[in-house]
Structure 1
Amino acid sequence: MSSDVYSAIGAALPSFEEEDQVALSRQVLQAARNDPPRGAPIAFSQKHGEPEHIEPGRWREHHAQWHRLPLGCPVTPLGKQATLSGTTYFFLDTLGEVAVLAENAGKGHVTSLFGGRPLFLTWAWPRFGKGGVVTGYAAEDARDDLFAACTYCGTFDLEDRVRGRGAWRDDDGRLIYHAGDAVWIGGQWRPPGQHGRFIYPGRPKIGRPSRTLEREGSGSPGDLLLQGLESWNWERRELDPRLALGWLMLAMVGGALDQRPVIYVVGTEGAGKSTLQKLFRLLMNGALLATSNTTQAGIYQKVKQDSVAVMVDEMEAKEDTRTTDKILELARVAYSGDKMQRGGKDGVGQEFSVNSSFMMSSIAMPPVDAQDASRMAVLMLRERVARDTTLEDLGLREATKVQALGRQLLKRMIWWFEGEGGKDWQALISAFKGALVDVGHNDRSADTFGALAAACHAALRDEMPAADEIEFWQGQLKAEQLVETSGREKTWRRAFMHLIEAQPDNIRNVTHKSVGSALLAWKNNWGGEIGDRKANLDDVMFTLRHFGMTISFGKDQFNAPNPEDWDHARLFIPAKHPGLNDLFAGTPWAGKKGAPGPWLGVLRQMPKHLWENGKCDRGLDEKKSGIFIQLSAALAWDDTMPLPMAA
């Protein structure tokens, strides 16, 4: 047997227990058996008396639904949507899948809509030949009735009404799980279709939760998986495998979460990233899109309305970061379950709701903006120092056992969501978030790491966390010690320091290569001879002119003992200037030539006592609008400093 059996089962479909599943194809087949032979009537049961036999085409008088299709019609109208090129009509077909027909749809489209039920078509919309014999069905009559039914249903928005595979919440916050061929609602499995105001279409099936709940303790599903995850050579030996376990639990019910934290796994060759990914693929039982070298559009076009997890490999750092930036943007949108707008055909825009949990991996991590970093945990894998047999010993190399383990963990997560036995997922996650705020986390990082910790707890424990467990997580997740949060800078600070430290080409051949080097020379010499101080300030002013910036002082400063000194200098930054466009090029704060740049809006986010609006013309060709920044105070500021009391 191969040492890594994953290679033989990588593309294998998961196996499931069949006896409690809703087999859609069987349903269609059974319903088709009840359809009458061509030309024969259908018997409709009556509350009192004998069944009523309705001849072909004669159902309209007494046997139509409110939208004027026959009772028992296997196709459900959903509504219509107008576009620049015509009207589109939406249906649920015989398999419960969403089908779309254009207004010029032909007979083949209607036949496809009623796939597996051709005799229903010849009964509902018969075409009569000589002697009143039914010879087929009248496609135009069927199409007209179908389109009219969609009109009676009203306008239809695919994104707002359709929920694909994965976990969801109903209006009361209860969990719904769509397994593709069946939907878990209110404690029972139901066939796909319209449930409440949402459409749960039939899709290829994914794994269901286990029937029974495995309790906590040694050898429990969570315990076994944690032991397996601990066999990797993680940088943070105790923390990282628990965060990985927490992400897996969250990924199983991503669409039902308020936040979907991202994990990024970084590791060199031989660290076991591929083995970890294959393990997660099996645990997810098909509820996972695994891809590499992909694009943002490729991901959301594949996921569509599903809330299944997404795993992206080979997110390597490259010179051209546009592709990775777009994927990171998609993960950021998915974190909160927001919508993305994209242009569509026929001039009609499209919305994509993203409700997937993202896992990414690479050898070298690409640049990540602060807004993305605050939504992710970075897990580092080091090369294994020796062969480890833990996975074999635990049975985690056996596909069927791993798949069963995943179903048991999904059952635990649903159990916590459904509040069985006094369980309360919202109370659990609130407990961890509050504990992390107490050890230095802001709201965003508490949301991220609190959710991961809570989900890890849900995998391992049956009860709410005790005080010692909370203390353990607080010790592991102190904000000042985490690599994800210890170097966290506010956006205004990063923009300001970029302005100070950048070395654009238009000043690299003069005395100073950056604004910061000119300012440092002045700072270091302002207390010297008056002539030296003036020369250094003139040097600063010359450098700043390249960007429309200048140094200014308050009017009262000229009567001070040390006029124009460093401690009272104000850096004036204009609202627009070509030089600032060049300085901020390639950053999120770059502007367009001739228009005010976004840098001012970002810099105004610094504490209010560090800046003020105004106009300035000192050393400039003309008076400009912008902001004055208290230079020495802004450079020395950090977020631990108390804000000054308001006057």
Structure 2
Amino acid sequence: MSGGGSIEGIRDKARKPLRAPDMVQEEFAGDGFDRSVMPFGCPVTPLGIQGLKLWVLDAANQLIALATDCRKGDLLLLFGGDSWLIKHFPQLTKDQAKNGAPATKFDQAEVQTALVTACQRKNIFNPQGRVFGRGAHRAVGDDQQLVLHMGRSVLIAGQPDAKGQRGKLAEHRPGEIDDSFFPALPALVPPASEPSATEDAQRLRELFGDWFWVEPDSAPLLLLGMVGQMFFCGALSWRSHVWLAGPTSAGKSSLQALIRALLGNWCLHVEDASEAAVRQILGDDTLPVMIDEAEADDNPEKQKAIINLAKKASSGAKIIRGGADHKGQEFTAQSCFLFSSVLHSLAKGEERNRVAILEMRQVPLTKKEYVAPDLLEWRDIGRRMHRRMIEQWPRFSRTLADYKREIWSHGLEGRWQDTYGTLLACADCLLYDRAPSQESELNEEHGREKVWVRAILPMIQRGKSEARSDVERCIAHLMGCLIPGAHGASAETVGQWIKRAMALADPIEGGINHTARERLKQYGLRLVLLKRDEPKLDGEPVPNDWVNGYLAVAYQTCEPLATLFRGKEWANGAYLQSLGKVDGVRRGLKMRFSGMNADNAIAIPLKALRDDEE
């Protein structure tokens, strides 16, 4: 008897069993991963190609750019060993194949071909703008989400669930999350499971007050805000910086040590590093940077470069630098900086409105014995403060708007609002549970934004008055440049030569000091009168006529004048841009200086050179 229902038929089918469907593979069938090239369970995730490089996430979820030759050692590192490779890409000897013995090696060529093919089928992969290092970030396309990459895990606050509700913190493994990549990196200390209390922040504010400040009311408050900002600076639209400036024995280093304890390893601490080193160490990380002993006299150019990096980091500017492969490398600066030194070196307006300078006094000799804070205790409190800042994130934007609005009401423009508003908003998040505008008038906390802003106004006003615009700095530089005297006489500044040229000289010569005026011409500078309605000469100013006269300044084609600006920020003719902003400047001029041919020039009113001195 035969047939499908007979015993023999059943035995025949049992000898040739059908493979059961792989439900796991079915589940992942739509994820874009080609199982025909790399079998399921592959510990390496192909991402794509870029030029002659393969981009993958390795077995440890590190983002790797791999050469196409795929050496054996590289494959072992990528796949976390050879067990998976031997199983899926076995290399059998003749004896092993004949005897059915298991493979003990993998076929390197087959793995290489499969990996290259898998990456090629994923198409071009460009990591720029899609790779996020350790620190805080805003989720791409969703400003309400706060992402914390902690190296070995990724926390997301405010991630919506299936119903669109923003739930609690969600933890993910490193790797690809919503088309963004968070590669595995050395671990950072995670925030505590419970947030700090407002009393903890008040204790820290009072502890900061134990140092001796020029502004004892506002400095501890702003420093508290700096600590809060440092926990999630990479996620902010604007980052404020702080400079601790004080004499030796003011306690700057001990203050930095306390802040490092609060942050744990959520910061980069250096004492002597170049801008390139800071940038390369940070990479894609958005961790705050702490620079102790940032003295300008050690290496002015190096410090200038780091300050420039901090300035760009305020707004998260993209920086492009050449790489070893002669291709541009993109770096996005999203760190806040805490400097400390005896003297700060911030003079430019665009530096002063990004950095809060907290001036310190030397500890008086009458001060009782110093009692060091318990750094272990503050390390634990710092982790709880980190958790608190995460939980306060949903109301941060509203809090920032409250403080910026109050600063604006005092007539302070954009960057002053951003810098000081951010610090005050972060301090508010540590000290209170609601934004100022959400407080009831019945609460004593109501109107605190007005009190705080009034407290810091003297500091801001002093910063504005001390900050010098590029126009002021350019004029000051030009007036201070030395011009050699004639016939071996001592060199004198341009400003001194102009004063002599405008002073009343020997009446026999018409009262004009022609020697001084000719000397200025040799350096592309000429005292002139101009016609009112057209850019043409109308003679020379009479002595002491600082109201109607102009100083004509030649273009950079005048070599003696160009040498006065060489090596400065106004080199290569940039001085024309700064001087061109002076009120009443006249452009489109053409005149002779000391040569036979006429030079292009601009003319600035002489009264702009005198400032308020006379």
TM-score band, normalised by the shorter chain? 0.7 to 0.9
Q: Which residue of 1 aligns with 2:418?
A: 447
Q: Which residue of 2 aligns with 1:168?
A: 137
Inter-CA distance 574–223: structure 2 relative to 1 (3 Å threshold): same
TM-score by length of 1: 0.79
How many angstroms apart in 1 are the aligned matches of 2:430 and 2:486? Answer: 57
Please say if residues 174 and 182 of structure 2, whose CA atoms lie closer than 8 Å, have aligned partners that are also in contact.
yes
Q: How does 1:575-594 map to 2 (within 5 A)?
A: 575-576=555-556, 577-591=558-572
State which of 83, 103, 108 in structure 2 corresponds to 1:119. Answer: 83
Shift of 1:535: 2.3
Shift of 1:512: 6.9
Please say if residues 211 and 251 of structure 2, whose CA atoms lie closer than 8 Å, have aligned partners that are also in contact.
yes
State which of 381, 392, 399 in structure 2 corresponds to 1:428. Answer: 399
Q: Which residue of 2 aligns with 1:535?
A: 512
Is the deviation greater in 459-468 or in 502-511? 502-511
Shift of 1:390: 8.5
Q: Which residue of 2 aligns with 1:624?
A: 599
Shift of 1:151: 1.8
State which of 529, 548, 566 in structure 1 corresponds to 2:546. Answer: 566
Inter-CA distance 559–270: structure 2 relative to 1 (3 Å threshold): closer
Q: Which residue of 2 aligns with 1:552?
A: 528
TM-score by length of 2: 0.83
Q: How does 1:24-423 map to 2 (within 5 A)?
A: 45-46=22-23, 65=34, 68-82=37-51, 87-115=52-80, 118-128=82-92, 129-131=96-98, 132-135=100-103, 136-170=105-139, 171-173=141-143, 174-185=145-156, 186=159, 187-216=169-198, 220-318=199-297, 320-366=299-345, 368-385=347-364, 386=366, 396-399=373-376, 401-417=377-393, 419=394, 423=395
Please say if residues 530 and 539 of structure 2, whose CA atoms lie closer than 8 Å, have aligned partners that are also in contact.
no
How many angstroms apart in 2 are the aligned matches of 1:297 and 1:75? Answer: 32
Task: Show structure 2 runs of 5+ residues with no match.
Answer: 1-18, 160-168, 437-444
Shift of 1:523: 4.6
Confirm or deny that 1:461 pairs with 2:404.
no
Q: Deviations over 1:430-450 (max 9, x none)?
A: 222232233343312221112
How many angstroms apart in 2 are the aligned matches of 1:287 and 1:474? Answer: 29
Please say if residues 67 and 153 of structure 1, whose CA atoms lie closer than 8 Å, have aligned partners that are also in contact.
no
Larger Rg: 2
Inter-CA distance 563–376: structure 2 relative to 1 (3 Å threshold): closer
How many angstroms apart in 2 are the aligned matches of 1:224 and 1:507? Answer: 67
Inter-CA distance 372–154: structure 2 relative to 1 (3 Å threshold): farther
How many angstroms apart in 1 are the aligned matches of 2:419 and 2:564? Answer: 33
Identity within the alignment, %: 26
Q: Which residue of 2 aligns with 1:614?
A: 589
Please say if residues 122 and 134 of structure 1, whose CA atoms lie closer than 8 Å, have aligned partners that are also in contact.
no
How many angstroms apart in 2 are the aligned matches of 1:208 and 1:389? Answer: 35
Please say if residues 46 and 57 of structure 2, whose CA atoms lie closer than 8 Å, have aligned partners that are also in contact.
yes
Shift of 1:624: 0.8
Q: Counterpart of 1:616 in structure 2: which amino acid?
A: M
Shift of 1:333: 2.1
How many angstroms apart in 1 are the aligned matches of 2:331 and 2:563? Answer: 34
How many angstroms apart in 2 are the aligned matches of 1:319 and 1:630? Answer: 39
Is the deviation greater in 618-627 or in 322-331? 618-627
SS at match of 2:492: coil
Shift of 1:153: 2.4
Please say if residues 267 and 362 of structure 1, whose CA atoms lie closer than 8 Å, have aligned partners that are also in contact.
yes
> Over the residues paired in the alignment, what is the CA RMSD in angstroms?
3.2
Shift of 1:194: 0.4
Inter-CA distance 561–225: structure 2 relative to 1 (3 Å threshold): closer
How many angstroms apart in 1 are the aligned matches of 2:605 and 2:339? Answer: 41
Q: Deviations over 1:109-163 (max 9, x none)?
A: 11111115x3222222222332343312212211221122222223333342211
How many angstroms apart in 1 are the aligned matches of 2:550 and 2:542? Answer: 15
Inter-CA distance 462–563: structure 2 relative to 1 (3 Å threshold): same
**Size of the alignment, in residue pairs?**
561
